[in-house]
A = this chain, B = another copy of it.
Amino acid sequence: MVQLTTLGGVLLGLLMRKPMSGYELAQHLKYPVSNYWQAKHSQIYPELARLRSHALVSYERVEQRDRPAKKVYSITEQGKSAVKEWVNSEPAPIVPRDELLLKASMLWMTDPAGALRLYRGYEARHRARLAQYEATKREREAEHGDDLFRLDAPHFSDYVTLMRGIGYEQERATWCGWVADQIERLSGTIAPDIAGPEVDASTGE
């Protein structure tokens, strides 16, 4: 069996939902897949060709009246078994590349006013996205109801990733706000008093 790349896994995973053209796949990768993986069309088209050369996908040319013709890709039986195996395989270790956190490690050499602006800005952005995700969550819950909790339906998987998005934005907004608070509190003065951000106490061991 051929070893899948992550991008190959993404594309096969999307094609498991329904047949799509490269263009449509690229759009899904812009949203919502971009929250956990990204790829431009210049990477997608060659990867589709590669998957096809391994017989994991096949395509059919589809003419359209109102638009240019497109190649609609479908996953093959071989593709299905490959992606199912891949989904439960150990993920490659994530390589953290977080420039804000990196810059936070250099806070000490910085002008406090500029840093404060930076962290307050990030805090606001994370709060905005959090509110948006929470609205989406309520929508999905209203839309699907108990059907949301069907392990074998894509809705559930989407819900699971949405929950992680909420947790992520929540945690990051809190941290950014705490950093900004510390900068405000400490700049100018040498006064120390309290401890850390309100890290979720409910699950804290």
Contacts and interface: CB of A to CB of B under 8 A. Distances in A.
Interface stretch (A44-52, A66-74, A97-105): A97-105
Interface in A24-42: 33-38
Interface residues of A, number: 90
A2 interface: no
B160 A107 contact: yes
Contacts of A13: 102, 105-106, 109
Contact of A152 (B108, B152, B175): B108
Given A137-B196, A174-B200, A108 B38 contact: no
A180 to B, nearest CB: 11
Contacts of A166: 196, 199
Interface string A135-155: 001000100001011111110
Nearest to A202: B198
A163 B101 contact: no
B36 A118 contact: no
Interface string A185-205: 011001010011111111111
Nearest to A9: B102
A83 B105 CA distance: 13
6 contacts: A35-B96, A36-B102, A109-B152, A130-B205, A164-B175, A200-B200
The 4 A-B pairs with the shortest beta carbon distances in the complex, nearest first, are A91-B99, A88-B114, A149-B192, A36-B101
